[in-house]
């Protein structure tokens, strides 16, 4: 594996730096607004704008790469993203910050579309799964480290924003200086969201609910920590524990979903999330002891972070292989729609009912999804385990990540043998 990992080291370094900067920004923003006394509803709007940009990037990012090529798209979007981050230091206004977050989300979707297609082009099916595993570990660890790094800078200064811009600007260097040729984007069969819903209603619904829960956490998790009396350091431990819980439980949950009916596994995952939320509400009556809060964050993160990959796996069980990439793109769109609504609804609930409505909101969404899963189990017989596709944890930053699924690559190779690849502008 060492030669393979060395060949993609520049991409891994770029991903590490981008995720460090993006994660640092995602906790700096809500904490700055909380310290300034900005209403929760306005904070929810600002944080939701990022996911709205991500949704727009899912729709238009690949088209931009087709139009101008990987290198120009990557460089242009990266520069625009750095400018958007620095824009937060020039003006303190929730409306302006919402616009800047939208721009960042749009850029991140396009940037990771370029990076992930580049990574996919450099590996083959003999090592694709292991390389994807390393990619996911780097992503999660960088996200957690970005949360912890908030403690290096004083919230009263612009240090967090400048550091986030610095890290993301450095991420441009390893890719811009690589000697590797830019890959081509494979042409894949298309599918509409309505058609995907007809094929697998559960996959689309669970993706939306995943966005509702994760969007709420990323938008309001830091605010919850501060409102229950945690320090900035303890708040970073809270959000970091959530991320690490998602990383640690992804492999065991994925293996279980390959051995049993995925819907049963999803029900148990959601049951774990509901119990963690009930325990979070109970912890509020005990004064929110830090060890309990951190443990619940890890358990909740391990549960709800796996709803999205289970949605992908559920969709792939019923899709033809040549429609995997298009299907995953629609699943990501469904997730992004939920992630836009999540911070808006959760912030309103917290304003009306208090900070522990954070756990209550996530628990309600998990409960509603559990009811829908049970309904679908009564409407469709389980797919035999031997007919299920292998669980593969795919990235959630761009629709291109689905191209790293080994089965999707096999289908793309077969399509490429029959059709010429679309012409790419010279870089």
227-261 tens-digit pLDDT: 999 999 999 999 999 999 988 888 788 788 778 88
Q: What is the pLDDT of residue 389?
A: 64
Phi, psi of 28 (to 5 degrees): -65, -45
**Angstrom distance (rounded) from CA 341 to CA 216:** 8
Determine the Cα angle at 398 with ends 321 and 2, to 5°: 80
pLDDT digits (tens, 9 = 90+) for 28-84: 999 999 999 999 999 999 999 999 998 888 877 777 777 877 778 888 889 999 999
Q: What is the pLDDT of residue 408?
A: 55
Q: What is the pLDDT averaged over residues 337-347?
A: 94
CB crowding 65-80: b at 16 or more within 10 Å, else e: bbebbbbbbbbebbeb
Q: What is the pLDDT averaged over residues 322-341?
A: 83
pLDDT above 50 (res 117): yes
Q: What is the pLDDT of residue 394?
A: 61
% of the chain surpassing 90 pLDDT: 46
CATH code for residues 2-417: 1.20.1250.20
Indicate the burial class of 54 (C-beta count within 10 angstroms; 0-12, 13-18, 19 or more). buried
% of the chain surpassing 70 pLDDT: 83
Q: What is the pLDDT of residue 422?
A: 40
**Angstrom distance (rounded) from CA 424 to CA 73:** 12
Q: What is the pLDDT of residue 352?
A: 94
pLDDT above 70 (res 176): yes
**Angstrom distance (rounded) from CA 164 to CA 59:** 26
Collapsing DSSP states into helix, strand and coil, what is residue 382? coil
pLDDT digits (tens, 9 = 90+) for 285-306: 888 899 999 999 999 999 998 8
Determine the Cα angle at 103 with ends 101 and 104, to 5°: 65
Q: What is the pLDDT of residue 95?
A: 92
Q: Show me where the domains of the chain are located.
A: 2-417
Q: What is the pLDDT of residue 404?
A: 57
Candidate ranges 60-69, 142-151, 259-268; pick with highest mean pLDDT:
142-151
**Angstrom distance (rounded) from CA 204 to CA 350:** 27
CA dist list (Å): 121 to 128, 131, 392, 415 = 10, 12, 18, 16
Is-contact 286 292, C-beta < 8 A? yes
The two structure tokens encoding residue 104: 């960042």
Other beta carbons less than 10 A from residue 341's beta carbon: 18
The two structure tokens encoding residue 22: 């993006």
pLDDT above 60 (res 411): no
Helices (H), 90-200: 94-122, 128-148, 159-176, 193-199
What is the value of pTM for the model shown? 0.87
pLDDT above 80 (res 85): yes
Exposure of 110 in the CB half-sphere (CA atoms within 13 A): 31
The answer for residues whose C-beta is within 8 angstroms of residue 417's C-beta and 6 or more apart is: none
Of 100-114, 235-249, 275-289, 325-339, the range with the lowest mean pLDDT is 325-339
Q: What is the pLDDT of residue 426?
A: 36
**Angstrom distance (rounded) from CA 140 to CA 250:** 11
Collapsing DSSP states into helix, strand and coil, what is residue 391? coil
Q: What is the pLDDT averaged over residues 121-137?
A: 72
Is-contact 57 105, C-beta < 8 A? yes
Q: What counts of helices (H) and strands (E) characterise the chain?
A: 16, 0
pLDDT above 90 (res 381): no
- The mean pLDDT value of the chain amounts to 83
Determine the Cα angle at 220 with ends 92 and 201, to 5°: 125
| Element of type H or E holding 28 | helix 9-35
pLDDT digits (tens, 9 = 90+) for 207-234: 999 999 999 999 999 999 999 999 999 9
Q: Quick one: how far is CA 325 from the chain centroid?
A: 17
CA dist list (Å): 165 to 29, 82, 137, 146 = 13, 5, 23, 13
Other beta carbons less than 10 A from residue 390's beta carbon: 14
pLDDT digits (tens, 9 = 90+) for 179-191: 666 666 555 567 7
Q: What is the pLDDT of residue 419?
A: 42
């Amino acid at each position: 594996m060492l030669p393979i990992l060395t060949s993609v080291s520049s991409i891994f370094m770029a991903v590490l730096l981008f995720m460090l900067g993006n994660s640092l920004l995602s906790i700096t923003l809500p904490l700055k607004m909380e310290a300034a006394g900005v209403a929760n509803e306005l904070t929810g709007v600002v944080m939701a704008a990022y996911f709205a940009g991500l949704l727009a990037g899912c729709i238009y990012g690949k088209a931009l790469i087709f139009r101008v090529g990987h290198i120009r798209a990557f460089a242009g979007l990266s520069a625009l993203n750095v400018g958007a981050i620095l824009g937060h230091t020039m003006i303190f206004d929730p409306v302006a910050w919402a616009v800047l977050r939208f721009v960042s989300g749009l850029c991140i979707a396009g940037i990771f579309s370029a990076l992930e297609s580049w990574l996919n082009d450099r590996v083959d099916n003999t090592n694709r799964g292991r390389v994807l595993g390393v990619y996911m570990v780097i992503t999660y660890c960088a996200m957690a480290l970005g949360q912890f790094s908030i403690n290096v800078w004083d919230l009263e200064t612009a240090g967090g924003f400048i550091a986030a811009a610095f890290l993301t600007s450095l991420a441009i260097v390893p890719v811009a200086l690589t000697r590797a040729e830019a890959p081509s984007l494979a042409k894949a069969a298309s599918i509409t969201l309505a058609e995907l819903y007809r094929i697998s209603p559960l996959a689309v619904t669970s993706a939306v609910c995943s966005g509702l829960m994760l969007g709420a956490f990323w938008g309001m998790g830091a605010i919850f920590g501060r409102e229950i009396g945690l320090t900035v350091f303890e708040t970073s431990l809270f959000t970091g524990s959530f991320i690490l819980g998602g990383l640690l439980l992804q492999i065991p949950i994925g293996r279980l979903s390959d051995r049993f009916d995925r819907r049963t596994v999803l029900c148990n995952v959601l049951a774990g999330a509901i119990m963690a939320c009930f325990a979070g509400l109970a912890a509020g009556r005990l004064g929110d002891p830090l060890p309990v809060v951190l443990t619940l964050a890890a358990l909740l993160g391990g549960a709800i972070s796996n709803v999205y990959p289970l949605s992908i796996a559920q969709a792939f069980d019923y899709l033809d292989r040549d429609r995997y990439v298009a299907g995953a793109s629609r699943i990501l769109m469904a997730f992004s729609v939920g992630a836009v609504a999540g911070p808006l609804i959760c912030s309103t609930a917290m304003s009306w009912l208090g900070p522990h409505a954070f756990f209550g909101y996530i628990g309600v969404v998990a409960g509603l999804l559990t009811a829908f899963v049970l309904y679908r189990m009564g409407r469709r017989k389980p797919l035999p385990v031997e007919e299920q596709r292998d669980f593969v944890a795919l990235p959630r930053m761009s629709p291109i990540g689905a191209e790293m699924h080994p089965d999707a690559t096999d289908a793309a190779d077969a399509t490429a043998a029959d059709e010429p690849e679309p012409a790419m502008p010279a870089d």
